[in-house]
Structure 1
């Protein structure tokens, strides 16, 4: 199963966990972050920290924990993780907002008195907060090209998953060789981050994430023969105009909805067999923007 990793500042992680003396903490997959945090000093003298790989968890825990932290996680929250947290306890885990590269967030989850998990906080995605990494992300990238300047360009879109690598590379070529670049219609910064969170929650047909060299990782629309990406303070497009029109329609929809951020939506965990799927309630829209695939 595809998995995601915890990307969070230490101070933010500790605040989300709200660790106190006497708490029992279960740390999952500590080998992915060995020695990063000494949690014991926050729960001593009467608390305890137990570190286990995910595969060592039992389905019927003898002890339920006040807190759980996972350094990496499958795309869905495993039910056995929830079973290891006491009612009223907290879990901080990475979550996948959409099956796309870099579409990750950090969720703070509280168990209600009946042991049902509820998302109480959801961090914003790292998209648009930093420049694209030196190499393409490890997961969900459908096509990547290393430019002569030593910078990677990559693309990730659901409709490209499972297709031949060359299909995605051909789309990238539209930006590499015949790009049209203009200022972003919403600029860079908070509004762009809010738009990213909204689109990742809504998951419209044709949505992509992309890295374009030294620009910040971006979000946009990809259609056969057409590509448009919002990256930092730039809007880059190539090929026929359909993808650009689709992306601009999404921006209009977001504005009509009141410019909601990811945290303004209604995240919920829905049981699916032995896992919990992250889903979102969306605001009512005054008009419905058609899919660019229609």
Structure 2
């Protein structure tokens, strides 16, 4: 069985997109995801995206990290699918319903409302998510936000100086986070600008993370560090985040189609 795919990326955060709306595909197992995501023996990607029909939305998007685990949301992937759909659309995800539309700066995504309650992150036990009394080495007193998936955010003087390649894995799998966690370290340049690095659960260090940019921006706004509209600079490039008075987050940025191809399912199943 030959399966068609589209290779896409958002600021270097890359995806293999499989559209099953017209052509059915066997069930996606973790081993197949890992094989396809392998950068030396597969197609290579941070996330594998499966599109399905949905009665309540334009399309349903299922998201698998490179380690084979399925996750709730991915902002960069939402922009990529918005680019494929070419017009205003609604996308159903495990993290909730989101909306996309073309914009002068790329694709704008309505990411919904952030959640701050400890059990919505979720955490293993109650605590104040605006100033968590915990720390790991140089990273202390983070904030936590769920924007369809869970994030913990540390504000530091210099995000580039943090050894996130080691601390990220440690924090991701800490028992405090029963669903594991995405780890963000950010520096505030001014009231309209943040610099951000992200350790993405199931992926590792990533050049861009849309939900991480949203979570970090909202955490900065909630703490009074920035205005309600900010530019978040990631290693892959900038994203533009607004937290409206209606409590909804809008993320705007580019998405790119790299190439299309196909593979034999039996080579990866």
TM bin, normalised by shorter chain, reads under 0.3
User: Where is the helix percentage greater, Structure 1 or Structure 2?
Assistant: 1
In the superposition, the TM-score normalised over structure 2's length comes to 0.28
Q: Which has the higher contact order (CA 8 A, sep 6+)?
A: 2
